Amino acid sequence: MTSSELAARYRRVRDRTMVLCAPLSSEDAVVQPMPDASPAKWHLAHTTWFFEAFLLNNNPRFDGTFEALFNSYYEAIGPRVERARRGLLTRPDLARVHAYRADVDARVLEGLAEGALDDVALGRLELGLHHEQQHQELILTDLKYTLGTQPLAPAYRNDLPRAPHGEPSPLSWQRFGGGVVTIGATDDGFAFDNERPRHDVIVRPFELARRPVCNAEVLAFIADGGYRDHRWWLSDGWQLIQRDAWRAPLYWDGAQTYELAGVRAIDPAETACHLSYYEADAIAHWLGGRLPTEAEWELAATGIAPEQGNFADDERLHPDRAPARGERPAQLFGDVWEWTASSYSPYPGFRPLAGALGEYNGKFMSGQQVLRGGSCFTPRSHIRATYRNFFPPSARWQMTGMRIARTA
């Protein structure tokens, strides 16, 4: 990719973040409704800090105080604001953050135009762009929690499409013979360090549902007393739903749910979303199946074009319903991140990135579950079959769903 093509890609990604934040009021941009959800203003600043810290090497700094204000979790960089207190940062104000973005953008684009970035810097530029795309998804999930938990439940945008309700398609299955399967990213092209090295795993024969679980199955689980029946739940999940009185997926309120287009009736045919791993595991067992492993999921996704999914670029910003028929599993990419039964751990021979960037993924390889496939909040150019997302099993403010598997 030439310098001019890199510059154009840089502008597209950075501009997209601003477009996502454009519908927000200044008040919307500073609210932190829970410890895991960061304010939009912080996302705007942190993604800029990443380029300044790792690409421009803080030389010169726009503002020396920003290093601690907008560092996320890099111990090697130095002190930072506790994650749960990001919403207390009333200063710098939003205009100052926008000025910060403009300053760093100008310096990065100048470096590209002058050919001043070596191969190491260009690699960090690519990482920074994918990092920003991760935060574009977080902006949407975090602001959905911000707006969807307010008394007025306002729409993020009034121009988002709302599909008419439909009937769910029946669950059907595809059989996979298994065997020795090679998974993980090759050495060509961009991938995060946790996607490598490529390696062989043994996969037993299995069946995979041709569509994700839809709202109809979740409604039936609820009607059957699933949230009150300990038999379906992992011990930690059962304790969690008792403590927090979960009786339905996040944003469900009786027959209604909240999406970024506002409050609407629950559509039984739509792909179910905002499920925690605990809920996904319980529903899978109630349906007579289980969650697939990440190796099973990657085998099933082999040969399917990721770009065909429902992604943030499509401006639906909500999962679609599954197609009625299909030979291959549908919606493996886009719509919802699909929980897997695999704990997030290093691949054999895993090597983190050098220096502070080694903290990007590796240090979180404990107490998390792997998710695959991207969602309707994910940028299309960001996803691939080997992508390993990860969250703790209690997380459900992300656009997370599920697909069931069966041992053949």
Per-residue pLDDT at 324: 60
pLDDT higher than 90, residue 308: no
Angstrom CA distances, 83 to 15, 37, 131, stand at: 25, 9, 18
Average pLDDT in the chain: 96
pLDDT higher than 90, residue 328: no
Across 339-345, average pLDDT = 98
CB half-sphere exposure, 354, CA atoms < 13 A: 3
What percentage of the chain carries pLDDT values higher than 90? Answer: 93
Confidence of residue 166 (pLDDT cuts 50, 70, 90): confident
**pLDDT tens per residue, range 224-244:** 999 999 999 999 999 999 999
Helical H segments across 190-317, by residue range: 215-223, 235-244, 277-286, 294-301
Token readout for 61 is: 């700094």
Per-residue pLDDT at 169: 87
Nearest to 105 by CA among 24, 18, 197, 229: 18
pTM: 0.97
Per-residue pLDDT at 325: 63
**pLDDT tens per residue, range 14-43:** 999 999 999 999 999 999 999 999 999 999
Per-residue pLDDT at 209: 96
Across 325-333, average pLDDT = 85
Task: Classify residue 304 by its DSSP letter.
Answer: -
pLDDT higher than 80, residue 326: no
pLDDT higher than 80, residue 9: yes
Q: How far apart (Å, rounded) are the C-alpha atoms in residues 233 and 241?
A: 10
